Amino acid sequence: MTTTVSVAGGDFRPYEVVVGRGLLAGLGARVAPLARGRTVVITDETVAGLHGKAALASLKAAGVPARLLTVPPGEGSKSFAELERVIDRMLAFQLDRTDVIVALGGGVVGDLAGLAAALFMRGIDFVQVPTTLLAQVDSSVGGKTAIDTPRGKNLVGAFHQPRLVVADIDVLATLPERQLRSGWAEVLKHGLICDAAFFDWLADTSVSGGAAGAAGDPAALERAVVRSVEIKSAIVGEDEKEAGRRALLNLGHTFGHAIEAELGFDETKLTHGEAVALGCALAFRFSAAGGLCPPDEAERVGTVIAAAGLPTRLDQAGAFQSAALVGRMTGDKKAEGGRLTLILARRIGEAFTAKDVDAAALTAFLDRELSGS
């Protein structure tokens, strides 16, 4: 079964997110109507070995001239140096505004290729073909593209919506277990922000429950991806540039990005999804500490996240100083005028944006977390 979710609203051109199994083989037929010229498939070296030949074969069979451009795997490719190299190769290929970029890979490839497409000749079309669960449910939808700097994650970027997103559930079978769990963190996040019933299903360990998705069950994964895309597409359609409700999608991210930065964005220590999971647990516990959320709700969130094999405590990620984490959070791109902005929760399924969060209260909370009290 194939499910198509439309992303529409605001000032951007509507596009479709196609979710199903075996979609990579038909990629060329879906890209052909968009490709007036040539296509460059940007991917990383790992994904190229797994899916590059299939993608190129499908494009060429549909009459779309295509070539492969690879980047090193990992967060390190989201850099000025790699962005410059990718754009230089695009220029060497003599691409023009009629050509299309296909981003084949996880969030790193999608972000980097999307930003290159946004900048090249002031913007050319691109198609997202996410190959990780995290990218399928989150980064491939919504048009956020960015690279990192030593001062923080995703601080240099642009909003550039794709023309199409093709999410093939079958490619997730090649994911390492840790990467699958990392993507599950973003799935859980979608339930936490606005759909308590979805979160309940994700937490359900029965035969018909969604928890099997965290272990790779294709049927559960497909349902989880579709619902996550529905949630994100509705929010993006309402608020493309994150002026309001879209900020809710950052639940767990301000905590998570600060933790990642303190670890030097070293994914051997903590993946982005693991950081988001930890950030969600911290956001709920901070909400409970401030009397905003019932303590039992925060406890349940931690229990469900832990059951999926994801971290919920800072000592599971490394050694930190509260002042350093708060400093990172103050410099986050969601901060305004140096004031702390966090996505907090009143309960599961009811997240909200809290502006001008008291830094002293946050520091005291993190001190307690770090001391284990």
Give backbone dihedrals phi and psi of 140, rounded to 5 degrees, phi first: -80, -15
Residues 280, 202 share a domain: yes
Q: How is residue 95 written in tokens? A: 């691409």
Q: For 299-331, what is each residue's pLDDT tens digit?
A: 999 999 999 999 999 999 999 999 999 999 987
Scan for tokens 């937490």, then name that residue. 203
What H or E segment, with its residue span, contains residue 178? helix 177-194
**Chosen domain end from 145, 174, 203:** 174
Scan for tokens 């009459």, then name that residue. 63
Q: How far apart are CA 370 and CA 51, in angstroms?
A: 42
Nearest to 43 by CA among 32, 29, 59: 59
Residue 10 confidence (pLDDT)? 74
**Chosen domain end from 174, 195, 216:** 174
Q: How is residue 19 written in tokens? A: 């979710």
Using a 10 angstrom Cβ sphere, with 0-12 exposed, 13-18 middle and 19 or more buried, the burial of residue 170 is middle
Residues 222, 159 share a domain: no
Annotated active-site positions, please?
A: 122, 144, 186, 232, 242, 246, 250, 253, 257, 272
Domain count, the chain: 2
Residues 185, 163 share a domain: no
* Encoded amino acid at 236, one letter: V
Q: Low-confidence residues of the chain, pLDDT below 70? A: 332-338
The structure's pTM equals 0.93
| SS3 (DSSP) at 6 | strand
* CATH code of the domain containing 48: 3.40.50.1970
**Contact in structure between 210 and 223 (CB atoms under 8 Å):** yes
Residues 126, 17 share a domain: yes
Which pairing describes strands 39-44 and 100-105: parallel, antiparallel, or unpaired? parallel
Q: How is residue 356 written in tokens? A: 């001008």
Residues 271, 170 share a domain: no
Residues 297, 195 share a domain: yes
**Contact in structure between 230 and 5 (CB atoms under 8 Å):** yes
Residue 372 confidence (pLDDT)? 83
Residue 214 confidence (pLDDT)? 94
Residues 196, 116 share a domain: no
Residues 169, 237 share a domain: no
| SS3 (DSSP) at 284 | helix
* CATH code of the domain containing 316: 1.20.1090.10
**Chosen domain end from 136, 151, 174:** 174
CA distance readout (Å), 91 to 52, 88, 128, 322: 21, 5, 21, 45
Q: How is residue 60 written in tokens? A: 């060429």
Contacts of 108 (CB under 8 A, 6+ apart): 44, 73, 74, 75, 77, 78
Residues 294, 201 share a domain: yes
Residues 228, 190 share a domain: yes
Nearest to 373 by CA among 188, 364, 179, 123: 364
Residues 185, 54 share a domain: no
Q: How far apart are CA 315 and CA 257, in angstroms?
A: 16
Residues 281, 138 share a domain: no
What residue numbers bound the domain in which 16 lies?
3-174
For the chain, the distance separating the N- and C-terminal CA atoms, rounded to the nearest angstrom, is 49
Contacts of 70 (CB under 8 A, 6+ apart): 42, 43, 44, 45, 48, 52
